[in-house]
Amino acid sequence: MGYTFHGFAQDTPAIQSEVDTTFIKIGDQLKFKITVEVDSTDMVIFPEGQTFSPLETVEAFATDTTRKKDRITLLKTYALTQFDSGSYKLPAQRIEINGKGYFTDSLRINVATVPVDTTVQKMYDIKPLIQVEKINSGWWKVLIIVLGILAVVAGLLYWFVFRPKPLTEEEKVAQLPPYDRALLELKKLDNSKYLIQDEYKQYYSELTDIVRSYLDEDANISALESTTDELIDKLEMLKDAGELELDKDTINQFKNILKTADLVKFAKSKPPTNIALQDRKIVEQIVVKTHEAIPEPTLEELMAQEAFKEELAKKRQKKKWMIAGGAAIGAVVISAIVVINYFGAAQVWDTVTGNPTKALLDNEWVASSYGYPPISMETPEVLVRQKVEIPAEAKANIKELQSFMFNDEKSLLTIAATSTTFTQPAEPEFEKTIEQLLKSFEAKGAKNIITKQEEFVTISGVKGMKTYGSGKFKIPDSEELVKANYAILSFGGKGFQQQVLLTWQDEDTYAEEIINRVLSTIEVKTEV
């Protein structure tokens, strides 16, 4: 156990710090405790954030307070860890008491590797990076909505249009040949209660409609719209022409039945029941004799009938497909309206056309740390390590330079992180590095670069410098210049420097969202 102790007079603060161990394995935690004894009226502020670098703060526990008369003892405990082996310096920590700073001593912490039995588990080389095609994670929402609407429409079309439907009794009768249908309807008339209920008008109306419909369909006689005399004249003309072989008695019987029916329907006549039943039998004989008298159709007539049926079937099928096409177009229109109202026209269009920055924004983002001292941030793509050659004249001052970058040339979107450690514990010269970056913009064809500066503070409170502005940037493989923005974040201390470079095209709302999200997640370690 290591510790430091600062003793003072009774009326001055007493500060003690200690760790529970100075030796841990990779990923294990140690407890760093700071004890402060002060007057009960003193204001004490303990370290906050990542001030223990290169060790990482896992958790800062609540302060434990013990009171003794007019003095109080404050105990602050931190859980620290490290994921790389080596010997690390736990830096002195500043405790502020009534605005005055007091420091603990630094400590040496040893982190050991975890032994691996290579006789059981073989060791393999690190696999190289491979390019993986990214999927636009936002597209599936649109796709699900559209597919859902189309599925509903397809189901309705199948159920109401294409599904083979069981035929009703009326449809089955309608599909029968005219002769069979006429005989079936006459049998149904026998089972009716018209005569029992004294409904002779309804009885004779159906009786004559049956025979007229049969003659209209099977004998090609326009019987439905003809009067009694007109219909009889047509039958006699067909008989005389030899096109319908009916005897004179059959025609006369049919004429008498039609006249009786006219008297019943228009003069309210009421024949005896036996006459009505006899008329029903005569009508059936007329249907049978007419069917027998109709000449057999020729081959040409049969082929014409078959062609007509096929044409009729094609028209019905065409009608079904027209209904289906109209429904599909309607579904697409409705889907488009729903999607546009939900996501907005611009987002839908950019999703359909594959806007590159929107695709990046919708990606599954990656949170990672880059370089040493580390720069942590969330990005839509992993930043790839860059091979950077340190100039010969700078090798005397730069110990190590690590650079990572993502660059989309089409949208001018760049996210880069660079960590530099120096050979001497000197303060970084931000202005020189920023000037070199601006010159690199100009070397790539940028013009009219405007530069501004302001303070930048991370979420944990680490302060840095933000250099930002706009200019006319050149699109790669083109002479075209477009307005673009840039931001350079600079952090550092004695012996190191950290910088984040961001560029994006002006008025690209998706790129602006990406940049704002990156900026809100940047964290840096402030000590080597």
Domain assignment of residue 508, yes or no: yes
- Rounded mean pLDDT of the chain? 80
Shared domain check, 378 and 493: yes
Q: What is the mean pLDDT of residues 182-211?
A: 89
How far is 35 from 31, CA to CA, in rounded Å?
A: 13
Shared domain check, 423 and 279: no
| DSSP per-residue codes, 96-110 | EETTEEEEPPPEEEE
Domain assignment of residue 283, yes or no: yes
Domain assignment of residue 306, yes or no: no
How far out from the chain centre does Cα 192 lie?
64
Higher per-residue confidence, 362 vs 64 = 64
How far is 414 from 446, CA to CA, in rounded Å?
A: 15
How far is 134 from 111, CA to CA, in rounded Å?
A: 38
pLDDT at 6: 43
Shared domain check, 104 and 23: yes
pLDDT at 20: 92
Query: pLDDT class for 220, splitting at 50, 70, 90?
Result: confident
Shared domain check, 82 and 184: no
Contact of 176 with 184, CB cutoff 8 Å = yes
Query: pLDDT class for 236, splitting at 50, 70, 90?
Result: confident
Could you report the per-residue pLDDT of 278-314, keeping only the tens digit for each?
988 988 888 888 888 776 666 776 676 677 667 777 8
pLDDT at 266: 87
Domain assignment of residue 299, yes or no: no
Higher per-residue confidence, 263 vs 160 = 263
Domain assignment of residue 345, yes or no: no
Q: What is the mean pLDDT of residues 465-489?
A: 86
Shared domain check, 378 and 505: yes
The domain boundary, picked from 272, 293, 314, lies at: 293
CATH code of the domain containing 70: 2.60.40.10
pLDDT at 19: 92
Element (H, E) at 88: strand 86-90
Higher per-residue confidence, 86 vs 142 = 86
| The pLDDT of residue 246 is above 90 | no
pLDDT at 7: 40
CATH code of the domain containing 259: 1.20.120
| Range in 149-163, 291-305, 471-485 with the lowest mean pLDDT | 291-305
Q: Which residue has the tokens 């009916």?
A: 246
To the nearest whole percent, how much of the chain has pLDDT over 90? 7
Shared domain check, 176 and 79: no
Shared domain check, 418 and 270: no
| Range in 40-49, 118-127, 358-367, 410-419 with the lowest mean pLDDT | 118-127
Domain assignment of residue 148, yes or no: no
Sign of CA dihedral 129, 131, 135, 137: positive
CATH code of the domain containing 492: 3.40.1000.10
Shared domain check, 196 and 101: no
| The pLDDT of residue 77 is above 90 | yes
| Range in 83-87, 106-110, 256-260, 331-335 with the lowest mean pLDDT | 331-335
Shared domain check, 375 and 513: yes
pLDDT at 2: 43
Q: Which residue has the tokens 């209920």?
A: 197
The domain boundary, picked from 293, 326, 352, lies at: 293
Number of domains composing the chain: 3
Shared domain check, 372 and 488: yes
Q: What is the mean pLDDT of residues 35-54?
A: 85
| The pLDDT of residue 270 is above 80 | yes
pLDDT at 10: 47
Domain assignment of residue 8, yes or no: yes
| The pLDDT of residue 422 is above 90 | no
Torsion, Cα of 139, 144, 150, 151 (10° steps): 150
Domain assignment of residue 423, yes or no: yes
Residue 108 lies in domain: 2-112
Q: What is the mean pLDDT of residues 160-176?
A: 70
121 by Cβ neighbours in 10 Å (0-12 / 13-18 / 19+) ranks as exposed
Radius of gyration of the chain (CA): 48
Query: pLDDT class for 3, splitting at 50, 70, 90?
Result: very low
How far is 466 from 303, CA to CA, in rounded Å?
A: 89
Shared domain check, 492 and 400: yes
Record the pTM. Answer: 0.42
The domain boundary, picked from 267, 293, 319, lies at: 293
How far is 112 from 49, CA to CA, in rounded Å?
A: 25
Higher per-residue confidence, 452 vs 322 = 452
By C-alpha distance, which of 247, 225, 224 is closest to 236? 247
Shared domain check, 275 and 197: yes
